[in-house]
């Protein structure tokens, strides 16, 4: 129920943000549409901790801030490699251990890896993520486990 209400709030907020017209008719239509979408989602049984993870709460924005810095740092690094006269690349394909306990946590981890330039998740398994890295250094940094620990912290208690 909590998830359904939260999903309704998100959908109606999206309607208000994207429409920009605030007449009673359009406000009512928006509420009806959002309620209908929530009803369909509930019937499909996708409104749960995984499909609508509100339990992650405030930890997500904090993690996004950290991730944005990582993305910036690795973007500069990959740009330098690309712009150098002889690209110093040494691609490797290896499995990085993942300590998350839920599918949601593993998806956050794998997507974070892919979002960071220079590392790319190619396959997600039960206890690890197969990663293609542009440089050996990028792979070593990922294997140091900093990102893995942070994602597990965001995931919180199962």
List of residues contacting other proteins (CB under 8 A): 14, 17-18, 20, 68, 71-72, 75, 78-79, 81-83, 87-93, 110-112, 114-123, 132, 134-136
Pick between residue 80 and residue 157 the one whose CB is nearest to other proteins: 80
Strand partners, 94: 131
Closest approach of other proteins to the CB of residue 65, in Å? 13
Closest by alpha carbon to 142, among 155, 154, 132? Answer: 132
Closest by alpha carbon to 92, among 129, 123, 121, 133? Answer: 133
Pick between residue 1 and residue 83 the one whose CB is nearest to other proteins: 83
Burial of 144 (0-12, 13-18, 19+ CB in 10 A): exposed
Pick between residue 7 and residue 43 the one whose CB is nearest to other proteins: 7
Which token pair is 50? 């995984």
Closest approach of other proteins to the CB of residue 22, in Å? 11
Closest approach of other proteins to the CB of residue 133, in Å? 8
Pick between residue 14 and residue 40 the one whose CB is nearest to other proteins: 14
Pick between residue 6 and residue 111 the one whose CB is nearest to other proteins: 111
Q: Are 155 and 56 in contact (CB under 8 A)?
A: yes
Q: In sequence order, what E strands does 92-133 have?
A: 92-97, 119-124, 128-133
Closest approach of other proteins to the CB of residue 39, in Å? 24
Closest approach of other proteins to the CB of residue 139, in Å? 12
Closest by alpha carbon to 30, among 53, 12, 4? Answer: 12
């Amino acid at each position: 129920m909590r998830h359904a209400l939260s999903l309704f709030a998100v959908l109606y907020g999206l309607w208000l943000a994207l429409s920009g017209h605030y007449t009673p008719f359009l406000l009512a239509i928006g509420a009806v549409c959002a309620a209908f979408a929530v009803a369909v989602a509930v019937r499909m049984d996708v409104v749960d901790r995984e499909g609508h993870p509100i339990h992650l709460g405030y930890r997500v924005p904090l993690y996004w801030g950290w991730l944005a810095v990582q993305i910036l740092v690795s973007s500069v690094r990959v740009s330098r490699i690309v712009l150098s006269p002889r690209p110093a690349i040494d691609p490797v394909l290896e499995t990085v251990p993942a300590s998350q306990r839920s599918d949601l946590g593993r998806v956050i981890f794998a997507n974070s890896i892919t979002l960071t330039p220079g590392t790319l998740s190619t396959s997600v398994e039960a206890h690890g993520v197969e990663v293609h890295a542009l440089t050996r250094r990028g792979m070593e940094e990922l294997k140091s486990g900093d990102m893995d620990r942070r994602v597990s912290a965001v995931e919180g208690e199962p």
